[in-house]
Amino acid sequence: MSKNTDVVVVGGGYAGVMAANRLTQRDDVTVTVINPRPVFVPRLRLHQLVGGTHDAVVDYEDVLADRVRLVVDSATWIDAAGRSVTLAEGGTIGYDYLIYAVGSGSSGPSVPGAAEFAYPVATLEAAQRLRSVLWDTPVTAAVTVVGGGPTGIETAAELAEQQGRAVTLICGGVLGPYLHPRARRTARKYLAELGVSVLEGPDASITAVAREAVELGDGRTLASQVTIWTAGFGVPDLADRSGLRTDAAGRLLTDETLTSVDNERIVAAGDSSAPSDLPFRMSAYAAGCLGAHAADTVLNRIAGEQPTPIDLSFPAMCISFGRGTGIFQLGHKDDTAMRLYFSGRAGKKLKEYSCAASVKHLVTEARKPGSHSWPKDGKHRPQLLAAQHDDAAAPVA
């Protein structure tokens, strides 16, 4: 009889849940997920939580396979040599393999006053806090959203449409950097229709945040009773703290099979992973694919087989502008925007479909482990890796 294998998954987000469910393909694998909350958070609904149209929680019973054990706690240390995880509430859990899937949160802004006076939106607790602050703030008060990426756009649009707020969106560059210029023009139009003031360009960056104002690069001061920080995601420092090598942002460094460059028993997935120091775009979509691949790598090792390199392509990215309108930007396989995009109600329907799909994939994998599949690329990543290798080999001038 073969020995039972214990796999611990740290983090119960899109990547961690997908990985845990897929591991249940083998009866001789015991899977434990460690997560600080007893509920799954579909983070791509957090701007809706702030706007009051979604509670952004799902019962783990609905997304986790029955055989997966959930430990509600936080990992504070990974002892890679001793193969155990220390928990915040005390005690340790041993493992044969560990999947590192701690995700991301707010980036910890470095602008003076931002940590003190600006509200992040990137975690459940941050979004709940912001919602209650807005609840106590008159609807006529000036609200500033910092960050022109999807999270900033969606938050600004939601607050303008659902709460009738006077919102200024400060992009610190161009609006929706990923979007094709044609789709960007449409995005500007939608935000204008919702009454959101959009400030773009190099001067439209925040240099300081005060209790009721923000300062811009061109010296202007804008009144802002509530300032919301969406500029960039940061990752937990658990890997770094545990002495495992990370990229500059703190994501666990892995090879292309998603295995830690320091330890063959540790495999990473989702926003907190950096395969070959060329991380994929942080997204629920990639997190699900990476989670499935991380599980496959562990299952390969248990079976004594060689794990395969990760391969995935991004078919699209999408942004909602309140509840009735959206942009579904089609992408090339190398994750750059095409000219083609869907807008209006069609864009919104496709966006809603992909939000629902990110949870549905977890449910399907719980019921039918091993079933999740995704579009492959096959071409661009090997080219990127080769270019990275050439750069590293080039003599320094």
Ligand X SMILES: Cc1cc2nc3c(=O)[nH]c(=O)nc-3n(C[C@H](O)[C@H](O)[C@H](O)COP(=O)(O)OP(=O)(O)OC[C@H]3O[C@@H](n4cnc5c(N)ncnc54)[C@H](O)[C@@H]3O)c2cc1C
Residue placing its CB nearer to ligand X in the complex, 93 or 215:
93
Question: Under the criterion CB under 6 A, does residue 283 sit at the interface with ligand X?
Answer: yes
Q: In Å, how far from its chain's centre is CA 41? A: 11
In sign, the C-alpha dihedral spanning 256, 151, 374, 16 is: positive
Binding residue (CB under 6 A) for ligand X from 104, 186, 246, 343: 104
Question: Under the criterion CB under 6 A, does residue 14 sit at the interface with ligand X?
Answer: yes
Nearest to 240 by CA among 291, 290, 280, 274: 274
State the nearest-atom distance from the C-beta of 312 to ligand X, in Å. 12
Positions in 353-372 near ligand X (CB under 6 A): none
Quick one: three-class SS letters along 201-252?
A: CCCCCEEEEECCEEEECCCCEEECCEEEECCCEECCCHHHHCCCCECCCCCE
State the nearest-atom distance from the C-beta of 144 to ligand X, in Å. 17
Residue placing its CB nearer to ligand X in the complex, 50 or 215:
50
Residue placing its CB nearer to ligand X in the complex, 29 or 44:
44
Q: Rounded distance, CA 66 to CA 302, Å?
A: 22
Which residues have CB under 8 Å from 149's CB, separation 6+? 176, 177, 178, 230, 231, 232
Binding residue (CB under 6 A) for ligand X from 7, 23, 65, 101: 101
State the nearest-atom distance from the C-beta of 58 to ligand X, in Å. 11
Alpha helix segments (H runs only) across 24-77: 46-51, 60-63
Question: Under the criterion CB under 6 A, does residue 41 sit at the interface with ligand X?
Answer: yes
Token pair, residue 312, equals 């995935």
Q: Rounded distance, CA 222 to CA 7, Å?
A: 51
Question: Under the criterion CB under 6 A, does residue 31 sit at the interface with ligand X?
Answer: no
Question: Under the criterion CB under 6 A, does residue 35 sit at the interface with ligand X?
Answer: yes
Strands 97-100 and 206-210: unpaired
With CB under 6 A as the contact rule, which of the stretches 39-47, 92-100, 159-167, 364-372 interacts with ligand X?
39-47
CA dihedral 11, 364, 7, 3 (to 10 degrees): 170
Token pair, residue 7, equals 């796999």
Which residues have CB under 8 Å from 237's CB, separation 6+? 250
Question: Under the criterion CB under 6 A, does residue 10 sit at the interface with ligand X?
Answer: yes
State the nearest-atom distance from the C-beta of 319 to ligand X, in Å. 7
Question: Under the criterion CB under 6 A, does residue 322 sit at the interface with ligand X?
Answer: no
State the nearest-atom distance from the C-beta of 76 to ligand X, in Å. 7
Type and span of the H or E element at 184: helix 181-193
Question: Under the criterion CB under 6 A, does residue 102 sit at the interface with ligand X?
Answer: yes
Binding residue (CB under 6 A) for ligand X from 15, 31, 199, 206: 15
Residue placing its CB nearer to ligand X in the complex, 215 or 269:
269
With CB under 6 A as the contact rule, which of the stretches 107-115, 149-157, 292-300, 361-369 interacts with ligand X?
149-157
Question: Under the criterion CB under 6 A, does residue 285 sit at the interface with ligand X?
Answer: yes
Question: Under the criterion CB under 6 A, does residue 75 sit at the interface with ligand X?
Answer: yes
State the nearest-atom distance from the C-beta of 273 to ligand X, in Å. 8
Q: Please work out the total of residues on this chain that contact ligand X, with binding judged by CB under 6 A.
A: 36
Nearest to 270 by CA among 302, 242, 240, 236: 236
Token pair, residue 170, equals 């400060």
Write the binding mask 221 to 260 for ligand X: x where contact by CB under 6 A, - elsewhere. ---------------x-x----------------------
Amino acid, res. 324: G
Q: Which residues are at the interface with ligand X (CB under 6 A)?
A: 10-16, 34-36, 41, 43-44, 46-47, 74-75, 101-104, 121-122, 150-151, 154, 236, 238, 270-271, 282-285, 287, 318
